[in-house]
Chains A and B, each alone.
Chain A
């Protein structure tokens, strides 16, 4: 981008393989502003939602603020619960020269966070994910008039 500021890439995945096959939610913001969103749930009826739209540089700036304020780049996933049969989460962020690719199990509630070996770090992840999902669901539902989940 011509702004001369740090570029940003953000990707989040949550999913599991169960009796309904591979069910997942995944979205990414690419440096050119392209937001891609996919949600596959095979429960009851087959649905696979795949949507993309370009967001403005202002939106990317706000996303960057949310990521930066969370201080997620200072964390490390090495003590977080590893992905298991119940599920898997992935958070990948590239901001400037820094690139994180974190994985962990699904987190049911704050109790899981408290009981982990790195409650402070996992809490940062836990809330950032919720804030990111909240933003993405708003964008997708406003733009396409669908309920993302």
Chain B
């Protein structure tokens, strides 16, 4: 793994800055989590993919995301706001869920996924409302209520990221800025 990955912008930033602060700590949350694990199991730790194919095709390059149209912590999706309901009774059906959710606004979309082994409801539902107001009302109203005698929870499914990565166009300029911020922090 290239140690430079995290500092791809370092080159265009103030070449005169001192280099002595080089982080030895893992690069991000995922690396930290992995390095803190003490029990490892599986062939994936020793194997390499055939044909020289490795993770680069996944990790390198850009991932597109939607523009940062957020309200509070919640993140808007392309056509509306997605509410996650958990604790859904395994014998609930779409009618049960939509009946309950329709009280707060028109349901644009409803996914009630099934457990592939049992064929019963997996335990969560994803419900789309057009407006933030409807979604928020649904969350406030549904969270802690019961469905088929089982207490359900409700929350937004998507949030703004900690680093609030945004549209592809914006990301570049932002990355420069963030790179600069990082330098500043280190000097302090």
In the complex, are the beta carbons of B124 and A62 less than 8 A apart? yes
* B138 within 8 A of partner (CB): no
Q: Number of A-B pairs whose CB atoms are under 8 Å?
A: 180
* A117 within 8 A of partner (CB): no
Q: Which of A68-111 contact B (CB under 8 A)?
A: 76-78, 82-83, 85, 88, 90, 92, 94, 96-103
- Please judge, given known A-B contacts A56-B84, A88-B49, A100-B41, whether A62 and B109 are in contact too, CB under 8 Å: no
- Please judge, given known A-B contacts A26-B58, A143-B77, whether A92 and B116 are in contact too, CB under 8 Å: no
In the complex, are the beta carbons of A88 and B50 less than 8 A apart? yes
Chain A contact surface mostly: mixed
Q: Nearest Cβ distance between residue A3 and chain B, in whole angstroms?
A: 14
In the complex, are the beta carbons of A53 and B33 less than 8 A apart? no
- Please judge, given known A-B contacts A58-B155, A94-B37, whether A30 and B29 are in contact too, CB under 8 Å: yes
* A47 within 8 A of partner (CB): no
A78 to B47, CA, bound (A): 12
Q: Nearest Cβ distance between residue A95 and chain B, in whole angstroms?
A: 9
- Please judge, given known A-B contacts A22-B53, A100-B41, whether A66 and B122 are in contact too, CB under 8 Å: yes
Binds A, one of B8-16, B60-68, B173-181: B60-68
* Further 18 A-B residue pairs, CB within 8 A, beyond A56-B156, A127-B116, A142-B109: A9-B30, A15-B53, A22-B51, A24-B57, A50-B61, A50-B63, A53-B158, A55-B159, A57-B155, A58-B156, A59-B158, A61-B86, A83-B49, A90-B44, A101-B41, A101-B45, A103-B47, A127-B117
Sample of 16 A–B contacts (CB below 8 Å):
A24-B57, A26-B58, A38-B63, A51-B63, A52-B63, A55-B159, A56-B159, A83-B47, A92-B44, A94-B37, A103-B42, A135-B122, A138-B113, A139-B157, A142-B126, A143-B157
Binding site for B on A (CB under 8 A): 7, 9, 13, 15, 17, 22, 24, 26, 30-34, 36-38, 40, 50-59, 61-62, 65-66, 76-78, 82-83, 85, 88, 90, 92, 94, 96-103, 123, 127, 130-131, 134-135, 138-139, 142-145
